[in-house]
Amino acid sequence: MQAFTFRLVIFCLLIAASIVNAQEKKADPRADYIRANYTKFEYQIAMRDGVKLFTSVYIPNDSSKSYPIMMQRTPYRVAPYGASKYKTRLGPSESFEKDGFIFVFQDVRGKFMSEGEFVNMRPQDAYKRRGNATDDSTDTYDTIDWLVKNLPNNNGKVGMWGTSYPGYYTSVGSINAHPALKAISPQAPIADWFFDDFHRNGAFVTPMAFIFFDTFDKQRDGEFAYWPKAMDPVTPDGFQFFKDLGPLANVNKNYFHGERPFWNELTEHPNYDDYWKARNVLQHLGNTKPATLVVGGWYDTEDLYGPLYTYQTMSDKNKKEHVKLVMGPWYHGQWNSTQGGKKLGEADFGFDTSKWFQDEVQLPFFQEHLKDADDAKIATATMFETGSNRWRKFDVWPPKKASKQTLYLNENESFSAKAVDTGSSEYVSDPNKPVPHSAKVSRGWDRPYMVEDQRFAARRPDVLVFETEVLEDDLTIAGAIDLDLWFSTTQTAADIVVKLVDVFPGKDVNDDKVDQTTGNRHELVRWSLIRGRFRDSMSEPKPFKSNEPTKVKFDLYDVLHTFKRGHKLQIQIQSSMFPFIDINPQKYVDNIFEAKEEDFVRAFHKIHHSKKYPSAIRFQTIQ
């Protein structure tokens, strides 16, 4: 009996301990701090045309001082709704909440609890239409005007931040900005959707668009506080799913049934026409006044174009000291993570780069411009150098003190310092057996593939591999990699995909250790492609002439990467990257969204490397 009682006591103690552990795991000190130190209010703020936008506001309980306003406008919901229900995160990082700001979150026009009609990447033309004309810029202005006039204890200064679509709304806030808007941080902002997110130089990013617009593009009847239900996933194997899907016309036929308006508009505008040009926000980013901190990730598979071109445009058209850029070794939004920034997939960057950015750059930037703190001394460009895994600061990006280098493609898939007569390299491209964008099974919209080992592709017969000799010294590339390729095909259409790869040695001379898990690793540094029809114009596509060498020029977006001594620089060339990029039929059709099964044909492609047709890659190097 005593033994039974003893066992019962032990059992009860274990149960009690498990309950305590569960409660500790559920405890969220950050959320508790927000609850204890902020009071939430909800408003419907009227715009100049009478449409009301749902806005939630969190004000510090300490009323002994005034606070600047940190605002985020989003199409993704400002939940939870209800004055007694609190967010568990308010600022870009926890330090903002401890430092003290008024936090404002707003559902943009036509989304969730805000009135009006939502328009994707709405053209910013209200200043041309005048009167009570509205767009996202005027909605931002009207909101800020109401906030500074009505919120208690605000100091009259406003900052904006946001990632991805909210990053776009942050950029837009700087157009004809309200005088109170002193600082903005567009992070991975959408800039031009024909080159970012859903297109890559005209090629279509099928899984991202398919998964995103399944819910985001569903139409609503009135205001609602919930996300629309997504369709049930058929399989976690995106490669198989999109292969079985077939031509893109089958998306509406089998799934969307014409009920996703923006998807329909995408398919009706396959070229860079006036529809897309009107939605290019870059054209409006000249003469902006708020101090600007543009943030992006080198490994952002969604919005890499956005931050680089937002920075470049604003830097070129404004005072350069007014606009800053930060690029870290991050996937989409990883800089916001509380535990991220050290690793991505198989790549290890040595320390928590996200926390460093949050503490050393982001908070000091807003403190300087919104709280009259000391000069944060933020460099024009704060860039993480992958390969060497360190932060570097530059007074201009790309760096001016750089040396130009050209590598010519050569026979036996090698490089040479000058063009030589070595003919061409041929590879097959079969729509029935496309090159996977990843060796892993995924839905097709994933993150770790951006640094994935590329040996799975290098060993395929439909992938060309050009490689340097083993490097005797470190080679640091800074800026874009320009591609001048002479290309021909047996058909009339093709994609050209180029990947920059860092080939690790079996034994790394840099640390004199053999790592059996990473030996000879082929780490992806950067990739991009061009849909061949757009080689001369994104607005006026044209076919290739069969078997005729044609010059194709495009660039891989900026990098800051060091190929360490003992490593090799490699580029891989292929003509599919599936399912991330849709399959090119390779038989020219006017609109790929209307291609039929019989348009998808096998082709043989050539990269020419001779004195007459010298294919080359060009880049800048720094010490």
Q: Are residues 429 and 533 in the same domain?
A: yes
Question: What's the pTM?
Answer: 0.94
Q: Bigger pLDDT: 538 or 445? A: 538
Q: What is the pLDDT of residue 20?
A: 41
CATH code for the domain in which residue 462 is found? 2.60.120.260
Bridge partner residues of 507 (DSSP) = 514
**pLDDT surpassing 70 at residue 103:** yes
pLDDT > 90 in the chain, percent: 88
Q: What is the pLDDT of residue 517?
A: 60
Q: What is the pLDDT of residues 307-320, one digit of tens each?
A: 999 999 999 877 66
Residue after which a domain boundary falls, among 369, 394, 419: 394
Q: Are residues 349 and 422 in the same domain?
A: no
Per-residue confidence at 508, pLDDT binned at 50, 70, 90?
A: low
Q: Are residues 390 and 461 in the same domain?
A: no
Q: Are residues 346 and 470 in the same domain?
A: no
CATH code for the domain in which residue 156 is found? 3.40.50.1820
Residue 436 lies in a domain: yes
Residue 470 lies in a domain: yes
Residue 495 lies in a domain: yes
Mean pLDDT of 147-163: 98
Residue 241 lies in a domain: no
Q: Are residues 36 and 173 in the same domain?
A: yes
pLDDT > 70 in the chain, percent: 94
Q: How many other C-beta atoms can be found within 10 angstroms of the C-beta atom of residue 228? A: 12
Q: Are residues 529 and 603 in the same domain?
A: yes
CA dihedral defined by 397, 399, 400, 406, rounded to 10 degrees? -120
* Residues ≥6 apart with Cβ < 8 Å to 279: 120, 121, 122, 123, 192, 193
Q: Are residues 47 and 175 in the same domain?
A: yes
Q: Are residues 409 and 549 in the same domain?
A: yes
Q: What is the pLDDT of residues 39-85, one digit of tens each?
A: 999 999 999 999 999 999 999 999 999 999 999 999 999 999 999 99
Q: What is the pLDDT of residue 3?
A: 43
Q: Are residues 350 and 427 in the same domain?
A: no
Per-residue confidence at 234, pLDDT binned at 50, 70, 90?
A: confident
Q: What is the pLDDT of residue 8?
A: 39
186 and 420 Cβ atoms separated by less than 8 Å: no
Per-residue confidence at 507, pLDDT binned at 50, 70, 90?
A: low
* 406 vs 620: CA distance, rounded Å: 9
Q: Are residues 72 and 165 in the same domain?
A: yes
Residue 274 lies in a domain: no
Per-residue confidence at 220, pLDDT binned at 50, 70, 90?
A: confident
* Residues ≥6 apart with Cβ < 8 Å to 478: 398, 399, 402, 558, 559, 560, 620, 621, 622
Residue after which a domain boundary falls, among 361, 394, 427: 394
**pLDDT surpassing 50 at residue 209:** yes
Phi first, then psi, for residue 318 (nearest 5°) are -125, 180
Q: Bigger pLDDT: 465 or 287? A: 465
Q: What is the pLDDT of residue 527?
A: 98
Q: Are residues 408 and 326 in the same domain?
A: no
* 101 vs 155: CA distance, rounded Å: 10
Q: Bigger pLDDT: 3 or 219? A: 219
Mean pLDDT of 103-121: 97
Residue 22 lies in a domain: no
Per DSSP, the residues of 507-524 read: EETTTTEE-TTTTT-EEE
Residue 217 lies in a domain: no
Q: Are residues 380 and 442 in the same domain?
A: no
Per-residue confidence at 515, pLDDT binned at 50, 70, 90?
A: low
From residue 607, alpha-carbon distances to 368, 458, 550 in Å are: 52, 16, 10
Q: What is the pLDDT of residues 481-502, one digit of tens each?
A: 999 999 999 999 999 999 999 9
Name the average pLDDT for the chain: 93
Q: Would you state the structure tokens that stand for residue 270, as one six-digit string?
A: 């396959």
Burial zone of 476 (CB within 10 Å; 0-12 exposed, 13-18 middle, 19+ buried): buried
Residue after which a domain boundary falls, among 346, 369, 394: 394
Mean pLDDT of 549-574: 98
Per-residue confidence at 27, pLDDT binned at 50, 70, 90?
A: confident
Mean pLDDT of 394-409: 96
Q: What is the pLDDT of residue 420?
A: 92
**pLDDT surpassing 80 at residue 596:** yes
Residue 79 lies in a domain: yes
* 202 vs 535: CA distance, rounded Å: 10
Instruction: Give the count of domains, the chain.
Output: 2
Phi first, then psi, for residue 200 (nearest 5°) are -130, 100
Q: Would you state the structure tokens that stand for residue 7, as one six-digit string?
A: 């066992």
Residue owning tokens 């190929």: 563
Please give the residue range of the domain that contains residue 292.
29-192+279-394
* 214 vs 228: CA distance, rounded Å: 9
